[in-house]
């Protein structure tokens, strides 16, 4: 049962709060179906069930979910932001609502932050930094940012984690894991959205963001990757004052990425900024395999000499060599209108044997035909990726986790670039990087490396084959060969069967007690109260059985 899995019932008050919000936004039937309402009642958490207001009922489902997440606070806001990246699972209307979720929250007074800052630094921050501003210049759900200066006058910012945020997020993640498991078990139509996988992915991402020292380490890697590029600026990290709860980095003053009027007033070249931004992110993806996964305007600043500063490396994406190869092949297929190559890549991304390959081939051919005669300068990468993800949703092909952020980053990047330069076409910038990636892939050293790996894998399989066959035969002779069948809800069915058999047993015993009491009442030598006592017990058992059946029907 869920109540047994939750840690010492300490999360029940928060679960009650979540359930109340969901009911107010018209999702009481969902909470009922997955058993959360009955769980709270069994745990003694009496829940008043307010009806959803007429204004909320008139909103469509994505709008109500988004508003509920906003009311539930930082963890759920960030969950919605992660869901906004799942363009392969959610249709555009849902994605548009999730993208409205904002991460701005009221700041914590610096006096509240001061004890943990002193503990991290070993002394007062006012002894280390001058002009430390107690009013934050930025505030989000996990951390807030305060400006200061080093002893030599260098401007810096202190990114400080909010106190107590770790415990609250841990509690919310525990609840979300249980709710996701119940959704997959009780609501078949929710399984296509993979709530368990979404929560798992979200939990990993959130735990990484909580560790500000790890974020600083990630930022250091980007600094090294762009050390030779004078047009891209990554804030310097001051490691001597970094810890899991705080990092200190260079302060960057520039024009915010969403202030186009200021860009023009500063005399910056919009087209050049768009080109340099596109090239920088494509280098991350196709060459480095390590990219900024959230390049929205708030994380980008424009500097004099048409330089670009990138901030906030809490959300990054990583691509293995295999994934980069697949991305190169997919982009090559789009550029060359090669439907077979695109089909091969999509099939590599699915582990579902029930995919209708003939229908998938037809849909890919339609996609290629649609863009076959579109001039390269008029081709929108975001539109093409949107079409591909639409095909994937229709065929229930779920993007691998490491590619989800990539698709989202590419679409966001193209949108940001077109704000600067409406004529920007990402495909124009992709081609040179594709050539570099293909040359690297088929260079003699790369071919030799893959050949050595393949030979090693073949010999490993062949050398281990006799041993594996012998072991299999031996286990079969001993009757130890097992076939594991993972049948969903089998445990739930067994539990229901056990409860039914218990009720049947109680019913038989109650009937027997009633008959025995009736016989006792006819025997003169046995006191009447013995029979009456038997009737009373039988009546109590009957009430218990009726109540049990009624509660079961409500669940």
Q: Which residues pair with 499 in a beta bridge?
A: none
Q: Which residues pair with 310 in a beta bridge?
A: 300
Q: Which residues pair with 316 in a beta bridge?
A: 292
Strands 300-303 and 255-256: what pairing?
A: antiparallel
CA 361 to each of CA 154, 331, 358, 391, 495: distance values in angstroms, whole numbers, following the listed order: 59, 18, 5, 10, 44
405 Cβ contact list (under 8 Å, min separation 6): 85, 291, 293, 315, 317
Q: How far apart are CA 158 and CA 396, in angstroms?
A: 44
DSSP string, 398-461: PPPHHHHHHHHHHHHHHHHHHHH-TT--HHHHHHHHHHHHHHHHTSHHHHHHHHHHHHHHHHHH
Q: CB count, 10 Å around CB of 292?
A: 27
Q: How far apart are CA 282 and CA 319, in angstroms?
A: 13
CA within 13 Å, CB half, 343: 17
**Segment (H or E) for 370:** helix 357-371
* Residue 69, helix vs strand vs coil: helix
**Chain center to CA of 548:** 39
- Give the tokens for residue 392: 């994937």
Strands 143-149 and 155-161: what pairing?
A: antiparallel
**Chain center to CA of 316:** 13
Q: How far apart are CA 470 and CA 449, in angstroms?
A: 33
Which residue of the set 88, 172, 211, 294 is catalytic? 294
Q: How far apart are CA 503 and CA 487, in angstroms?
A: 26
CB 252 within 8 A of CB 235: yes
Length of the chain equals 555
Strands 155-161 and 232-233: what pairing?
A: unpaired
Strands 138-139 and 300-303: what pairing?
A: unpaired
User: According to the 3-state scheme, what is the secondary structure of 296-337?
Assistant: CHHHEEEEHHHEEEECCCCCEEECCHHHHHHHHHHHHHHHHC
Let me know how many helices (H) and strands (E) the chain has, helices first: 24, 10
Active site residue 172: no
Active site residue ranges = 294
């Amino acid at each position: 049962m869920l109540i047994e899995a939750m840690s010492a019932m300490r999360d029940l008050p928060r679960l009650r709060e979540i359930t109340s919000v969901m009911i107010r936004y018209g999702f009481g039937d969902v909470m009922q179906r997955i058993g959360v309402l009955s769980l709270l009642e069994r745990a003694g958490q009496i829940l008043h069930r307010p009806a959803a207001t007429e204004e909320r009922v008139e909103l469509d489902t994505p709008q109500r979910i988004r508003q509920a997440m906003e009311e539930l606070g930082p963890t759920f806001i960030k969950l919605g932001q992660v869901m906004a990246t799942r363009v392969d699972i959610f249709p555009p209307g849902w994605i548009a609502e999730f993208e409205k979720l904002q991460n701005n929250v009221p700041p914590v007074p610096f006096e509240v932050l001061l004890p943990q800052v002193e503990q991290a630094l070993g002394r007062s921050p006012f002894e280390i930094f001058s002009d430390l501003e107690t009013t934050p210049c930025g505030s989000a759900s996990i951390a807030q940012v305060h400006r200061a200066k080093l002893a030599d006058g260098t401007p810096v910012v202190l990114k400080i984690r909010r106190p107590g945020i770790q415990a609250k997020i841990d509690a919310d993640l525990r609840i979300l894991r249980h709710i996701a498991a119940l959704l997959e078990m009780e609501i078949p139509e929710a399984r296509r959205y993979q709530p368990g996988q979404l929560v798992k992915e979200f939990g990993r991402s959130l735990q990484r963001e909580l560790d500000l020292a790890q974020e600083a380490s990630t930022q250091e890697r980007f600094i090294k990757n762009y050390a030779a590029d004078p047009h891209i600026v990554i804030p310097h990290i001051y490691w001597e004052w970094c810890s899991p709860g705080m990092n200190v980095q260079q302060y960057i003053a520039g024009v915010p990425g969403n202030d186009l009027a200021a860009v023009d007033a500063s005399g910056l070249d919009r087209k050049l900024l768009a080109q340099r931004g596109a090239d920088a992110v494509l280098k991350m993806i196709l060459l480095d395999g390590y990219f900024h996964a959230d390049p929205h305007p708030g994380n980008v600043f424009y500097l004099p000499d048409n330089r670009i500063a990138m901030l906030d490396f809490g959300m990054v994406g990583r691509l293995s060599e295999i994934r980069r190869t697949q991305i190169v092949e997919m982009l090559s297929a789009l550029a060359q209108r090669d439907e077979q190559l695109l089909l091969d890549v999509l099939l590599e991304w699915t582990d579902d044997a029930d995919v209708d390959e003939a229908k998938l081939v037809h849909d890919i051919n339609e996609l290629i035909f649609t863009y076959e005669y579109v001039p390269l300068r008029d081709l929108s990468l975001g539109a093409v990726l949107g079409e591909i993800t639409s095909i994937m949703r229709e065929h229930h092909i779920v993007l691998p986790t490491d590619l989800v952020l990539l698709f989202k980053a590419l679409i966001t990047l193209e949108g940001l670039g077109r704000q600067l330069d409406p004529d920007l076409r990402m495909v124009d910038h992709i081609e040179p990087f594709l050539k570099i990636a293909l040359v690297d892939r088929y260079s003699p050293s790369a071919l030799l490396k893959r050949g050595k790996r393949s030979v090693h894998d073949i010999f490993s399989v062949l050398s281990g084959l006799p041993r594996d066959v012998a072991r299999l035969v031996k286990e079969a002779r001993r009757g130890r060969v097992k076939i594991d069948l993972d049948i969903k809800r089998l445990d739930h069915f067994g539990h229901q069967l056990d409860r039914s058999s218990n009720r049947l047993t109680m019913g038989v015993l109650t009937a027997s007690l009633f008959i025995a009491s009736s016989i006792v009442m006819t025997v003169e030598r046995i006191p009447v109260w013995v029979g009456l006592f038997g009737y009373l017990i039988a009546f109590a058992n009957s009430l218990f059985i009726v109540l049990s059946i009624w509660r079961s029907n409500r669940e």
